[in-house]
Amino acid sequence: MTAALPLHDDYAEQLDCIQANLAALAARHHGPHAALGFGATLGFAPKPGPHGLPGVEPDLDAHLASADAHLGLRVDARWRVAPSAHAAVLPDDRDSVYVIADAFHLPWVPYCAHQHMAHSFIIERDDGGLRATDHYWNDTQWGPARPGSWRLSDAELAAALRDGAEVIALTPHTLAPPLPEPRYVAPASADVEAYLAAYRGHPDRPAALAQLTLETWLLARSRRLHVALRTRRGEDPARWSDTLREWRGVVEQTYLALRRVQRGHPEPGAALDRLAALLANEPASFAAPTFRERVAAEVAAVLRVDAAALRAGEPFTIAPTFSSFRIVEIVERLEERLGVSFDPDDLVPENLHRLDDLCRIARLSAKEPT
């Protein structure tokens, strides 16, 4: 295996090991922000998982459906490669494929020879040979996983796929709009209570805490990605700075509890209480943006400026792109996307150069004046 070619991903730290390489493929066709599509819908939907515990990790089919809906990637073909048939991983009519195999056998990830788990990567052609590209980013107890690309010999590919692999060919399609509308789905309180009770009452504490460590890690990453999407669409990330800091704290506290129990020490308390408080506060934290924030986001998208500057009172004229053409585009965009119907007498320059002035005349007739 050749030395890694380092790669850069803006959102790698917010993606799990299945999402990361779907997002990388989408970015090749739709640009570097395509990964944000995975943050479109934020919720809490546990289902039965390992050790009789509920889990929030989406399955592969759910990830592929999300990639189709929000990343502009559609499954073109899907097949299973047997352990002895590694040569079939990349057919002659394909330049690249998305692969899922056991991380235990993948020499470029820290899980190699340590932990069995499904892990994705991309196989593509490279000067007559094959290259494995992996955009996953994580820190583990065995070392860091970082985005990179490695040329594999035939023997190395065979070893990496010794237990077989699932292979998926993906085709890009047009995204409209380029970034999806963010949506938060509040869970039923009974579902949250049942989830927490399952972890509190599980008799195998090391197993419960190991699973809970994964759970909090997944929940924290998904919330960071959702905030990144909402920020990209013009909302103020300061709204969630405390929430995201609390999520980081829960992840750290849960992992510390796991390590203490694994070493035979008493289980530190409060991790589940902290998680319960976070989940209880989420509906208010991730409520729909205010009308003013939505208007700022739309204006920022037209003018290609930071929405935070507009919310702070800067005039629209700070944008190098500002012109009467952009003003017309802003008015039409607000009418189409926010349901605003302006009074013609209000459409004068004095009302169309600052956010608060625009909101004042827009709020008079908006369908959702919040």
pLDDT at 179: 85
Query: Each residue's pLDDT tens digit in the chain (370 positions)?
Result: 666 565 667 899 999 999 999 999 999 999 989 999 999 999 999 999 989 999 999 999 999 999 999 999 999 999 999 998 888 999 999 999 999 999 999 999 999 999 999 999 999 998 888 999 999 999 999 999 999 999 999 999 999 999 999 999 999 999 877 789 899 999 999 999 999 999 999 999 999 999 999 999 999 999 999 999 998 887 888 889 999 999 999 999 999 999 999 999 999 888 999 999 999 999 888 887 788 888 998 899 899 998 889 999 999 999 999 999 999 999 999 998 888 888 899 999 999 999 999 999 986 555 544 4
Tell me the pTM.
0.80
* Tokens encoding 339: 């349901």
pLDDT at 369: 44
Report how far apart the first and last C-alpha atoms of the chain are (Å, whole number).
57
Chain-centre distance for alpha carbon 109: 21
- DSSP state at residue 341: -
CA distance 216 to 248: 9
pLDDT at 280: 94
Alpha helices in 110-188 (DSSP H): 154-160
Of 217, 221, 210, 100, nearest to 160 by C-alpha is 100
Q: Find the length of the chain.
A: 370
CA distance 320 to 218: 40
CA distance 269 to 344: 62
CA distance 248 to 274: 11
pLDDT at 341: 84
CA distance 98 to 133: 10
pLDDT at 6: 56
Q: What is the CA radius of gyration of the chain?
A: 24
pLDDT at 24: 95
